[in-house]
Amino acid sequence: MSYSCDMSDLPTLDSLGLLPPGDYDLSFEELRRSLLVVGPGNADNTWDATWRESLVDNLEVMTRQLWQVGIREVFAGGSIVEE
């Protein structure tokens, strides 16, 4: 399942702190402004937006390197998509 959405259409995290299953097409800027980086409205003091932004920065560097060698589809998972 794939979703093309802007970051305001990104679903909220479920009760376990996860996005619903699926693929979400976001630019790096949209990802940086999304709840995945800035946190959900009810984020407590354990939410580390600075760390999450550095994850996106690193993801962007690696993705751009992959694009340079012809890899066009890159999927991010793991801690960047969960609470």
76: nearest Cα among 67, 8, 68, 62: 62
In this prediction the pTM is 0.76
Question: What total of structural domains would you count in the chain?
Answer: 1
Q: How far is CA 62 from CA 15, 18, 58, 82, in A?
A: 31, 24, 6, 20
Taking only the tens place, the pLDDT of each residue in 19-78 is: 888 888 889 999 999 888 888 776 667 888 899 999 999 999 999 999 999 999 998 887
For residue 77, give the amino acid letter: G
Range of the domain at 44: 2-81
Element (H, E) at 23: strand 23-25
